[in-house]
Amino acid sequence: MKISCVILTMGNRIAELDRAVESAVTQTDGDVEVVVVGNGADVPKLAELPPHGAASVRIIRTQENLGIPEGRNVGVRECTGDVVLFLDDDGWYADDKVAAHVRERFAAEPDLAVISFRVMDPDGGAGQRRHVPRLRAGDPQRSSPVTTFLGGACAIRRSAFLQVGGLPGHFFYAHEETDLAWRLLGEGYRIEYDADAVMYHPQVPPTRHAEFYRLNARNRVWLARRNLPWPLAGVYLLDWILLTLVRERSSVAIRSWFRGFGEGLREPAGERRPMAWRTAWRMLRLGRPPIV
């Protein structure tokens, strides 16, 4: 079972990119195929890497910034692995046994589509709650089945990824992993948060992105329109309107969020494939029904 690793970069984190690539090619398996996607930017010259088995590094540059989901789609189309690791250019693997662990799990569990990794703070902090993709996120060292995953800290069965159409490229940023996860669950696959698969990533808030609130809201609407039966879609969106009003204190953030919400209602969401009610019931049994 061949392992590939897709790393997105904007070409502006040279030392971090070198570290990410090295952490992938020096896995003990020795044959990880790394595909670095320059997302609308030139990929800087990589530091010389030590020879390591059959590991290889390929560089691809897109003509423009396609956004995170489509950038990763490009990487998946270009790689040849049976399992694809997604890694941000400022992240890196905690040890050299991650690929071996991933290979062993996917080979033994044919219904496993995604492993979501445990993300650790390299400075020794407690980590961020949002990095544990479940509602009860208090113990990041507990593995469990989940209904979504972290896009930059995961491993995906490539055949399952392609079967459901990959990530929704037009989302650009935010909730694209959940869209993919819901479609995989609908096909009967499993998604696991695996606390033994560990990577490091600096603690940075998602709100650092200038368009965070607008894209977050727009894509929530698209997520519901694409994937949920209409009764659940209405409850889901109402729920998030209320949660946003309760959580956010900034009038600027709230205005931006509702502007995005309106865009989500007006603009095309892409192909609608509502999940079966049995999938919604399965998600409820897993502890996260598709309304939160």
pLDDT tens digit sequence for 20-56: 999 999 999 778 999 999 999 999 999 887 677 767 8
Q: What is the pLDDT of residue 292?
A: 87
Rg, the chain, Cα only: 19
Let me know if 277 is exposed, middle or buried by CB neighbors in 10 A (0-12, 13-18, 19+): exposed
How many percent of the chain have pLDDT more than 70?
98
d(CA 162, CA 41): 26
Q: Is the pLDDT of residue 130 over 90?
A: no
Q: Directed axis angle between helix 212-227 and helix 230-247, to 10°?
A: 160
Quote the pTM value.
0.95
Residue 179 scores a pLDDT above 80: yes
The pLDDT, as a whole number, for residue 55 is 79
C-alpha distance across the termini of the chain, in Å: 36
